[in-house]
Amino acid sequence: MPVLKNQKWELFAQAIASNFSGREAYKRAGYGANDAACDANASKLLKNAKVRSRIDQLSTKAAKKVELDKAWVLSRLMRNARLCLGEEKATVTKIDKETGDEITRDVELYDPAGANRALELLGKELAMFIERKEVGGVGDFAKMTDEQIDRELAEMMNEVTGEGSEARH
């Protein structure tokens, strides 16, 4: 679908495709209204078939670009890991200072720190690693009884899962 003829609709669609809220997109498109009116009017625009189609088109383009960029980064990380592990050779070109000739060689690199970093980033992308952090001060749990620890853990689990929130209010 081509650019919308109604410029405000086009700006609204672009803002929605850029992950702005309906209210914010409505304001960015140049419409002036209070927040309640913005919400209501943005909702109406989102139901407009032309606007919805344009948003879908823009969102698809953005998603393809993100995937392309992500694929590019991941492929480079994998190549860096192979290079740093010495599994793949790198082509290096130098200029001979005396003759001015180009000298090209395939060299084997070995950089354990570089390999570890590339593998770490790849592992994070694949959600292979879980970041843990200590809650509370050092030794807090050592001073608690088993019952107190059980209660504390149950409260933390309730916060994470959202269960038992009615009882706390």
Gap between the Cα atoms of 96 and 81, Å rounded: 30
pLDDT at 122 over 80: yes
Helix ranges (H only) for 85-126 are 112-125
Under DSSP, the state recorded for 169 is -
**163 band by pLDDT with thresholds 50, 70 and 90:** low
25, 52 Cβ separation under 8 angstroms = no
- Domain residue extents for the chain: 7-63, 74-125, 135-163
pLDDT digits (tens, 9 = 90+) for 58-109: 888 877 776 778 888 888 999 999 999 999 988 888 898 999 898 888 888 8
pTM equals 0.41
pLDDT at 69: 81
